[in-house]
Amino acid sequence: MNMASALQYFVLITILGIPIHECKVVFQGGKCIIEGPCFDLNMLADIAERVSKDVKAADGEKILLRHKFFDKIREKKNLHICVLPKIIDLFQRVLEETERKSSVHRGEKRNYHHELIHIMDQLESCVYEIKDKRCNMLYKESEKLSLPEIPEKEMNRKQLAVLQLQKLKNASERLSDVHIQERVMDELKTLHLYMRGKGFRKNTYNPEEA
């Protein structure tokens, strides 16, 4: 595909309104390649399901916001970037805490629990790096700010991000609590849905590596 054809392709995409920000379009060897995300989130979902398959649905308040509220955070890159590392950190710490007493990998050829801990490390590298102080400011705000007593559906994006950070911090401070561990392991099943969004980077094509 020459430069003129590529330009025509881009104009056509723009006219049709196709959301190219959701997938990285690159040209390699004359072919258009739509690259996937930084990490295979379907694999995350599959292994998470195996690890938490024997965990009963936990009672009590959820740690992760309901999807329809978290979606507002996912749509704002600078908020999603700040919240994702805190989510990954909590889930990784609980996985490390529960690995010793987990019976999931016994009798299996693969230690799915251990694999999932490794996956958390990989996920961290898939979060965009923020180069300013906005995250630190948001973290400090979440520690001091008392949110108004209004329903989550009435909160704006920033208030929801602060609420999510406060929930994660409260859970982190009670990590030895079995109920917190059960809650995290239960919510592990839908963790991949929280990774998708503006803060989770896509693969990029480097022609020098081709």
Beta strand ranges found along 22-165 (DSSP E) = 24-28, 31-35
What does the pLDDT look like over 86-125, one tens digit per residue? 999 999 999 998 887 765 555 667 788 889 999 999 999 9
* Distance of alpha carbon 27 from alpha carbon 34, whole angstroms: 9
Please report whether residue 99 resides in a domain. yes
pLDDT at 205: 38
Residues in Cβ contact with 90 at an 8 Å cutoff, skipping those fewer than 6 apart: 63, 168, 171, 172, 184
Contacts of 88 (CB under 8 A, 6+ apart): 120, 123, 124, 127
Residues 26 and 51 in one domain: no
Q: Domain for residue 55, yes or no?
A: yes
pLDDT in tens, 135-146: 999 999 999 878
Round to whole Å and give the CA distance between 21 and 147.
Answer: 33
135 and 70, same structural domain? yes
pTM (two decimals)? 0.76
Q: What is the residue type of 112?
A: Y
Q: How confident is the model over 165-201, as pLDDT tens digits?
A: 999 999 999 999 989 999 999 999 999 999 999 999 8
Query: Structural domain tally of the chain?
Result: 2
Within-domain flag for 205: no
Residues of the domain holding 11: 3-35
CB distance 82 to 161 below 8 Å = yes
